Structure 1
Amino acid sequence: MTGDLPLVVTRADPGGAATVARARAAGLDARHMPLFAARALAWSPPDPVGFDALLLTSAQAARLGGAGLAALAALPVWAVGEATAAAARAAGLTVAVTGPGDGQGLVDAMAARGAARLLWLCGRDRSTFGAAGIAIAPLPVYAVDPVPPPPEWNALVAVPAVLMAHSARGAARIAELVGSDRKHLTLLAISAATAARGGSGWAGEAVAARPDDAAMLAEALALCHKGR
């Protein structure tokens, strides 16, 4: 819409492309500006007998996990978000629980369910979390690496815009690329911790009501429709 601020989506694909599609369907001027790319890592599946369930906090783990996932197919999956659950099913895994929010929230909610040993198929760069009575063994199966910004990046951030940060690494990368000239830009973060990594000096800062893409887009509608 004329006068609306563009929404800059920086997360790695395929999540970034999906966010752009949802934003455009909602009438936003969304720009596809991935600053990271995901790739598979070499890994060997452990004996599933040592675990009660698989924990997946990102669809990338199922999408890039490869042949090793078959050896773990007997384990029920705890998935964060419907996108992660859908990717797990597409990879031949059985989803037992789909939780909203983040990995910590899901583990906290499931702490009383009796599963004490979780195998967490995760990224190389990850946060840490835990819950009383639950042992979480992280196993990196993918990496998300920085890539050069698209050619349109400099022109886009030279004018007012809303920049989405889906992770703490994403916020830090945005801040690094933008530099100190950011008083015309608004940072939209998936969590308060993510916003903190973006630093200060923005025209505005906003945090999604929940740590998921739908809540970020709801906030983006309000921010972008404020106009220039």
Structure 2
Amino acid sequence: MTGAPPLIVTRPEPGNTATVARARALGFDVHAMPLFAARPLEWTAPDAGDFDALLLTSASAARLAGPGLARLAALPAYAVGAATAAACAAAGLTVAMTGATDAKWLLGEMTSQKIRRILWLCGRERSALDAGDARVTALPCYAVDPVDPPPAWEKLLGAPAILLAHSARAAARIAALAGTGRAHLSLVAISPAVAAAAGEGWREVAAAAQPDDAAMLAQARALWHKGGK
């Protein structure tokens, strides 16, 4: 897109490469600037019979869970976002539902189906989930650790740019690294909760209509067109 500001992708690999490829195909001047790296954790799969369903809120859980995931394959998987659903299917899980917005919405759908015992395959750092009368058991199977920004980070943030935040931790770290002088920068968040974690002081902050790359890139395009008027 001629005249578009740089688009900065901050998520860890392998998602970073996938998002960069999608953005480049749409004509964005895109830059891979991962601020985190994901790695597996040691964990032990519980008895699948103790649960009614799996909840996965990140594709990293399915990608990094390892061989223990096979012990839980009999449970239906509920995934937040199309990328997470695709990772679940690739890992051999049966996806019963893909969340259209966020974990809160998906939990509401699960509890409305009388699902009461939920095993949440999650990251070491995570937000609290309120499932009402249902029991959500969090089982960390991966960690996402911060890494130093790539060398071009400061130069890119010195001029107008659009940044993508795929998690609340990412939004908070982007905000910390950008500092208070960020009125020339715009941010696209994967959900309203992630947008809130970015704080104030940006030129624009927008939340994707769906928790996936396609919706985030559509918002990035809208911000660019808005800024160009």
1:15 paired with 2:15, answer yes
Q: Deviations over 1:100-136 (max 9, x none)?
A: 2212111111222122101110001111122233211
1:188 counterpart SS class: strand
Give 1:148's aligned amino acid. Answer: D
In 2, the alpha carbon distance for the partners of 1:192 and 1:101 equals 9
Please say if residues 101 and 212 of structure 1, whose CA atoms lie closer than 8 Å, have aligned partners that are also in contact: no
Partner of 1:44: 44
| In structure 2, distance between residues paired with 1:79 and 1:199 | 27
Query: Superposed, which structure 2 residues align to 1:66-145 within 5 Å?
Result: 66-145=66-145
Q: What residue number does 1:189 align with?
A: 189
Contact 2:6 2:162 (8 Å CA) reproduced: yes
Distance 1:191 1:83, change over 3 A: closer
Q: Tell me, yes or no, if the aligned pair for 1:28 and 1:224 is still in contact at 8 Å.
A: no
Partners of 2:204 and 2:223 within 8 A in 1: no
- Residues in 1 aligned to 2:81 and 2:208: alpha-carbon distance in whole angstroms: 15
**Whole-angstrom CA distance in 2 between matches of 1:196 and 1:119:** 27
Per the alignment, residue 59 of structure 2 pairs with 59
Map 1:16-31 to 2 at 5 A: 16-31=16-31
Aligned-pair distance for 1:227?
Answer: 4.2
Deviation >3 Å, runs of 4+:
225-228
For the residues of structure 1 that align with 2:40 and 2:58, how far apart are their CA atoms? 13
RMSD, aligned α-carbons: 1.7
Aligned position for 1:156: 156
User: Contact 1:85/1:95 (CA < 8 Å) preserved in 2?
Assistant: yes
The alpha-carbon distance between structure 1 residues 110 and 92, as it changes in their structure 2 partners (threshold 3 A), is same
Q: Distance in 2 between matches of 1:33 and 1:51?
A: 39
Percent of pairs with identical residues: 61
Contact 1:6–1:224 (Cα < 8 Å) also in 2: no
Q: Which amino acid aligns with 1:167?
A: S
Contact 1:7 1:224 in 2 (8 A): no
Q: How far apart are 1:98 and its partner, in Å?
A: 2.1
Q: Deviations over 1:134-188 (max 9, x none)?
A: 2110000001110111111111111110111122111111111111221221122
* SS of structure 1 residue aligned to 2:55: strand
User: 2:167 & 2:175 partners in 1: Cα distance?
Assistant: 12
Number of residue equivalences: 228
Higher alpha-carbon deviation: 205-214 or 29-38: 205-214
Which residue identity lines up with residue 158 of structure 2 in the other structure?
A
Provide the secondary structure at the position in 2 that maps to 1:149. Answer: coil
The code of the aligned residue for 1:81 comes to G
Of 37-46 and 212-221, the range deviating more from structure 2: 212-221
Q: C-alpha distance in 2, partners of 1:48/1:205?
A: 41
Distance 1:185 1:12 in 2: 21
Report the 3-state secondary structure (helix = DSSP H, G, I; strand = E; otherwise coil) of the residue aligned with 2:78. strand
Range with bigger deviation, 81-90 or 118-127: 81-90
Which structure 2 segments of 5+ residues have no match? Answer: none
* CA distance in 1 between partners of 2:114 and 2:75 (Å): 14
Q: Distance in 1 between matches of 2:132 and 2:175?
A: 35
